[in-house]
Structure 1
Amino acid sequence: MEAYYQKRTIWTQRAEGDAAPEPTAPNLEELAAKSGMTAGRTGLVDYHTVESTELGKTSRFDQNTFSFRPFREIGFDPDIPMYRPRDIRDAKETDVEYVYWKTSVKDQFIPELGDIRDDVARDWKKLEARKLVDKRVEELRKEASEREGGLKERLPAQAEKITSTNEFSWITMGGGLIPQMNSPQLSSVEGVDAVTWEFMETVFAKKAGELGVVRNASHDSAYVFLVTRRGPDVDAQRQRFLRTFFQGGSEVAALAQGEFQDYYRRWYAQLEREMKVEWKRPPQ
């Protein structure tokens, strides 16, 4: 698909003075079959409706903000050209990956209320429901704070819904045969759908025995949590940091490299805009 993108980009740049026909796009089903993948189409979607598709439920870890950016914030980037293939992973199943590209773009417009009345009503109900959820979880947190023991003992009426998570750190190095070569990312938490930076920040601000309330990435679920145990204390972690900071392949170096690459990319993009650079061929 990358080869077709390059060919089509050259054709687009020559279109004004060249009568050559537009290159024919590869057959999606045949392309997927050769690659051992499954073909799919979203149809024309917008920032909100894309979330109802499989692709719309994916996310990518942002090295700059250290949080997962949902597809809706990535796929509609106007700087991404037509037919340029990109990849993204499933937010829940980390071994599921998608390759996608844009095939058409429609200018934004303000629809008539009659055409979107059902959508407006649905979204309004969601916002109102979140207020009720916030009120309920705060009631549960307060109830739990007035009792002793584990969360099941503190909230016996909710015992069947209460689970224990795996032990987790804030950041996890990538897996694979050579973990040091993979970028760090937010750790996964059993029972929580796509954690965020704010989630980790809230949880790790609590000491053992303290309660708190957090939301998942899509804000459609809220949790009352109890920290049962913390790992090494701050002094121990500081000593570990000092021992590993200057070692090649350390977590700190990998995190810093990710930030540097992002700043470097944005700096180049800013220069191109300020200098009004127009590429006569795809940049190498």
Structure 2
Amino acid sequence: TRPAETEDSESADDAPADSSDGKPAETETQEQAAESPGDPQAGDASEEEGDINETPDDAAEESEPNATPDGDDSADSGQFNVLDDTANADDEQSTEVETEDSSNAPPETDEQSESSDNPATESVNETPESEPSAEADEADKNDKPVNGEEPAIEQEPAPAAQEVAKKYQPLEEVADQIRQTIARDSSRVLSRRQEILKPILEAMDAYSAELAQWRIAQDAKAADAPDVAKPKMPNIQNLADEAGLKHETVAPVSVLEFADAPLGRSFIIVDGRRTEQLFAQAFRGRLEAYRAVMTEDVEGHAYVVWQTTDHPADVPELKDVRSEVVHTWKLMQARKLAQQEAERLAEAAKKSNQPLREYFAERKDPPLIITEPFTWLTYGPVPGGQMGRAPRLATLDEVPNAGPEFMAAVSKLEQDQVGVAANHPQTVYYVARVARHDVPLETLRKRFLQLPEIGAARDLARSDLRRQLMDGLRESVAQEARLDWIVTPDTNFR
């Protein structure tokens, strides 16, 4: 478990990671950039602070059940060559936290996000020490909107000079980010991008056309006709080096793995407009081998991609995936133990009527985490355009992989209230306590209604509500009719 404290300021942090440990902490959040899609009038997000306490899960039982591999393993996989043109960087602000990672926690990756007024929360997570624990897995889910206020975390008052320093960064620290933001919206940059990518696209398209003609000739030739030499594929690595781009080859991946990757989530560009996401077209059979496409992600990074191989879907033998099955089973058992321990610590902290930083002062495990102010959603450095600026889930350096479930659980807490929240892959459970809400809900609501991007927020709310309704309908029908869904792996995704 890890305890932590955070202070409210006008910034939102982003960072993923997973671990099956518990962590107590105190955190302060900033005003949310946008409110929950479910209630556009509820305001951006209240500001909150909180403590987070984490405790590592104990090793899970060594017994290995007779399990069959998950459906994810049976998904089609494909291999891709990728050229990445990353010309912009996010304008983000990091958060500071006091933490003590448990020895068995997996490595964490941190991201940062734009700043805005947010609520702060305190939280602590734990797992039993005498029970088995599991290794941490990562998983991503759809973002969820904010409903009402976000919790705030308790924190010692800071001098006015420190408060100003947290709300505003010196120009020299963000000058490059400002230049990139301006450049990203410039038509000259788009023109320059086309100029750089043009020779690469022409070489790839020429090879694709020659390969198609060669295949037609192979199918139509007589048995005694002489063999025709197969076209020589261009050296993509050399083309990328000449253009100053990065060349990568993606190993065969399943649909779920590709949908979780930045490249897979990027949008195919047709006539200058974003269309379907790459992973969806790839696993619906809409991509031809060695047919180059250009894609762009939400951060403005451009890719030139073509698919080189296609592996048919199959169900692997248990002996081939036994270690993964055992690992997943242990993780499922450890989640239950971690949640139980976090709930036990939360009840004890409630009865003490103390801030988590005081209640866990004598404990070194789980460590105390102090986060900077954060919001549930943020706009981030997303470029404008016809698609508008859609709010996205904020992330925290102090709480890796803090998904929508964590944000929702923390946002429901009232000031000084203690609760339990898990990260997105449910590998870390936190005991959280809200210290304060710096901005009243009514103020946040008024600010939200004045945002020019309110239309995008409403669309996000409708989309999330529609998804929840459809998921509930499918689950209800399946339960009432006692249906056992059988779906082929290559179509079992949204």
Query: Where on the TM-score scale, by shorter chain, does this alignment land: which range?
Result: 0.5 to 0.7
What is residue 252 of structure 2 aligned with on the other side? 44
Once residues 216 and 75 of structure 1 are traced to their aligned partners in structure 2, the CA distance between those partners, rounded to angstroms, is 30
Letter in 2 for 1:227: V
What is residue 81 of structure 1 aligned with on the other side? 287
Once residues 251 and 190 of structure 1 are traced to their aligned partners in structure 2, the CA distance between those partners, rounded to angstroms, is 26
Does structure 1 residue 218 correspond to structure 2 residue 459?
A: no
What is residue 128 of structure 1 aligned with on the other side? 333
When residues 259 and 205 of structure 1 are mapped into structure 2, their CA distance, relative to the original with a 3 A threshold, is closer
Native 8 Å contact 1:84 1:102 kept in 2: no
When residues 232 and 116 of structure 1 are mapped into structure 2, their CA distance, relative to the original with a 3 A threshold, is same
Once residues 296 and 230 of structure 2 are traced to their aligned partners in structure 1, the CA distance between those partners, rounded to angstroms, is 25
**Which of 252, 260, 265 in structure 1 is aligned with 2:454?**
252
Once residues 158 and 97 of structure 1 are traced to their aligned partners in structure 2, the CA distance between those partners, rounded to angstroms, is 46
Shifted more, 197-206 versus 98-107: the winner is 98-107
What is residue 265 of structure 1 aligned with on the other side? none
Once residues 223 and 57 of structure 1 are traced to their aligned partners in structure 2, the CA distance between those partners, rounded to angstroms, is 28
Once residues 150 and 97 of structure 1 are traced to their aligned partners in structure 2, the CA distance between those partners, rounded to angstroms, is 47
Which 5+ residue runs of structure 1 have no aligned equivalent?
A: 63-70, 263-284
**Which of 159, 162, 185 in structure 1 is aligned with 2:368?**
162
Once residues 266 and 348 of structure 2 are traced to their aligned partners in structure 1, the CA distance between those partners, rounded to angstroms, is 35
Letter in 2 for 1:113: L
Give the SS at the match of 1:254.
helix
Once residues 263 and 432 of structure 2 are traced to their aligned partners in structure 1, the CA distance between those partners, rounded to angstroms, is 25
TM-score normalised according to structure 1 size: 0.63
Native 8 Å contact 2:413 2:434 kept in 1: yes
> Which has a greater percent of helix?
1
**Which of 408, 415, 434 in structure 2 is aligned with 1:208?**
415
Matches within 5 A, 1:99-248: 102-156=307-361, 157-158=363-364, 161-175=367-381, 182-242=389-449, 244=450
Native 8 Å contact 2:266 2:295 kept in 1: no
When residues 130 and 97 of structure 1 are mapped into structure 2, their CA distance, relative to the original with a 3 A threshold, is farther
Give the SS at the match of 1:41.
strand
When residues 18 and 140 of structure 1 are mapped into structure 2, their CA distance, relative to the original with a 3 A threshold, is farther
Q: CA deviation at 1:167?
A: 0.8
Which 5+ residue runs of structure 2 have no aligned equivalent?
A: 1-199, 219-227, 268-276, 465-494
When residues 161 and 106 of structure 1 are mapped into structure 2, their CA distance, relative to the original with a 3 A threshold, is same
Identity of aligned residues (%): 23
Once residues 145 and 2 of structure 1 are traced to their aligned partners in structure 2, the CA distance between those partners, rounded to angstroms, is 62
Once residues 137 and 31 of structure 1 are traced to their aligned partners in structure 2, the CA distance between those partners, rounded to angstroms, is 54
Letter in 1 for 2:346: R
Native 8 Å contact 1:195 1:216 kept in 2: yes
**Root mean square deviation, CA, Å:** 4.5
When residues 59 and 45 of structure 1 are mapped into structure 2, their CA distance, relative to the original with a 3 A threshold, is closer
When residues 125 and 99 of structure 1 are mapped into structure 2, their CA distance, relative to the original with a 3 A threshold, is farther
Once residues 403 and 252 of structure 2 are traced to their aligned partners in structure 1, the CA distance between those partners, rounded to angstroms, is 28
Once residues 404 and 419 of structure 2 are traced to their aligned partners in structure 1, the CA distance between those partners, rounded to angstroms, is 15
Native 8 Å contact 2:266 2:297 kept in 1: no
When residues 233 and 56 of structure 1 are mapped into structure 2, their CA distance, relative to the original with a 3 A threshold, is same
Letter in 2 for 1:118: S
Deviation by residue 1:39-72 (Cα, 9 ceiling, x = unmatched)? 3334233357x59xxx85889599xxxxxxxx9x
Q: Say how many residue pairs are matched.
A: 241
Once residues 339 and 216 of structure 2 are traced to their aligned partners in structure 1, the CA distance between those partners, rounded to angstroms, is 60
Q: Which has the larger radius of gyration?
A: 2
Q: CA deviation at 1:113?
A: 2.1
Native 8 Å contact 1:188 1:195 kept in 2: yes
Native 8 Å contact 1:59 1:88 kept in 2: no
What is residue 27 of structure 1 aligned with on the other side? 235
Give the SS at the match of 1:188.
coil
Deviation by residue 1:103-149 (Cα, 9 ceiling, x = unmatched)? 22211112222222222222222222222222222222222222233
Deviation by residue 1:159-206 (Cα, 9 ceiling, x = unmatched)? 672111111122212327979964322222231223322222222111
Highest relative contact order (Cα 8 Å, sep 6+), 1 or 2?
Answer: 2
Give the SS at the match of 2:370.
coil
